[in-house]
Amino acid sequence: MYRIILLLTILSTVLISCSTDTKKQASEQPNILFIFTDDHARQSIGAYGSIINETPNLDRLAEGGMIFRNAAVTNSICGPSRAVILTGKHSHINGFMRNEGKDFDGAQQTFPKLLQQAGYETALFGKWHLGSEPTGFNDWKVVPGQGNYYNPNFITPDGNEQIEGYITDVVTDLTIDWLKNKRDTDKPFMMMTQHKAPHRRWLPAGRHLTMYDDITIPEPPTLFDDYSNRNRGAAEQEMEIARHMDPYDLKLIDDLDTTAEYYNPWKMGAWDRMTEEQRKVWDEAYDLKNEKFLKEQKQMSEKEIIQWKYQRYIKDYLRCIASVDENIGRLLDYLDESGLAENTIVIYSSDQGFYLGEHGWFDKRWMYEESLSAPLIIKWPGVTAPGSENADLVQNLDYAETFLDMAGVDIPGDMQGKSLVPLLKGDKGEFRDAIFYHYYEYPSWHMVTRHFGVKNERFKLIYYYLNDEWELFDLKQDAQEMYNLYNAPGYEPIVSDMKVKLKELAVHYQDSIAISYL
């Protein structure tokens, strides 16, 4: 009997010790807050050198951590970018290549599931845009499809609900409420706060509707690009401010205007959601401005009309960004006030870049810099030097591996990216000498033809395989990518070397479509 009691005592001590060690390990694992927006161009962030707006809270985040100057995506479109981030795999491997088509396979391996297995509590609030319901999250509320700016609907594990308010505020409210009242405080957390803003149709919050009214936003130098010396698809796209922005984009009509020439019942779901008070504030902000334009447009030149459209578009876009920045400030303040800031890594990014009038465009999709590039700012207290910068060629392909590495979780061998943790710790060794890109969604919205390509520190080679056209750009000499050097004398060795690298990456990432053309 004595021996049995002694054995039980020892076993009990071991179990208590293991439990204590597990809790200690969990407490030492950092919390992860991933703040994600839709279509946020980094040229509209102060820390990235914006000359058109100010973002004090994003700048505050950058000052406290590391800003990545060369972050890019693998496929510049909303849903596929999200799938790449979740899986750490290119679109052709994770199966989600286009926004339209089959839903994301939620049964596959994702980094939230792996973090759950390692003791993390995971949550997701906001935009999902992958068709299937989220998996790998202890708690979630996501908007259906693109979601609504005003009084949004949410899909939840317990059914659907509508929440009154402006969507960026609402998603932040949900995040703070979960952090404050609903999470298991004995576990580290991984929170994904994913905003709709600043996605088309750029409906600002009521408090920002007159922001920028008294100024003229500087025009990009390529606003009136004629697309000469580029692939023919550059002129055949459907994303020009001049020709393809409709009256809904420009706030000249709305969902309630059933008598308008452009009225389309399929566009219902934006303005008709507003409360009477929200609608009153909206009308007071836009009615007089619209009346003035509609009265004067017959006397305006084609160039003047394009300039007016640009100002309307860019101001609404930046007004949406203002709300994002305010709400990032709210989250940072809560982390400070609650004592969570010391052990919480904060990451800010977006699903891709966006055109803010460059080349006369809005939207994304191209491998050109404005849409290929994404903002990436990471604050890791006690690990990453405040105010630091990085210029390595990183991609959203690396996010899953980075989150796992931050948490001390083994990175699966079938993931295709690389952890950014060494860079965040100040490693100066070579990270990656080139990145691979592949866009698939054609024919579809905006009619950007399919293409894949490779980019290194200086050059970019793109192949439009349906048109059998190549482009080569020298990013050092031609940052705006206006001159295709593919057939230029003297660049033959560079073209040859870039093609070798392109095929090497296509093989490495197992892209059978790209391999078949090379």
Is the full-model pTM beyond 0.85? yes
> Which overall architecture, per CATH, does domain 445-517 show?
2-Layer Sandwich (3.30)
Interhelix angle 302-338/56-63, nearest 10 degrees: 50
Predicted local confidence at residue 33, as pLDDT: 98
Q: Residue 426: pLDDT above 90?
A: yes
Specify the 3-state DSSP secondary structure of 150: strand
pLDDT bucket at 269, cuts 50 / 70 / 90 = low
Task: Return the closest-CA partner of residue 394 out of 366, 361, 364, 419.
Answer: 419
Predicted local confidence at residue 64, as pLDDT: 98
pLDDT bucket at 267, cuts 50 / 70 / 90 = low
| 110-168 residue pLDDT tens | 999 999 999 999 999 999 999 999 999 999 999 999 999 999 999 999 999 999 999 99
Spell out the domain ranges in the chain: 30-203+319-430, 445-517
Specify the 3-state DSSP secondary structure of 224: coil
Helix segments in 299-435, DSSP class H: 302-338, 369-372, 399-406, 421-424
Predicted local confidence at residue 28, as pLDDT: 81
Q: Which CATH superfamily is domain 30-203+319-430 in?
A: Alkaline Phosphatase, subunit A (3.40.720.10)
The whole-angstrom separation of Cα 292 and Cα 294 is 6
Average pLDDT value over all residues in the chain? 93
Predicted local confidence at residue 100, as pLDDT: 83
Q: Kindly report the length of the chain.
A: 518
Q: What are phi and psi of 179, to 5 degrees?
A: -65, -35
Q: Are 45 and 55 in contact (CB under 8 A)?
A: yes
Q: Residue 268: pLDDT above 80?
A: no
The residue-averaged pLDDT of 389-412 equals 98
The residue-averaged pLDDT of 15-29 equals 45
Question: Of 46-50, 250-254, 490-494, which gets the smallest average pLDDT?
Answer: 250-254
Predicted local confidence at residue 264, as pLDDT: 61
Helix (H) / strand (E) element for 413: namely none
The residue-averaged pLDDT of 175-201 equals 97
Q: What percent of the chain has pLDDT over 90?
A: 89
The amino acid occupying position 335 is: L
Q: Are 233 and 484 in contact (CB under 8 A)?
A: no
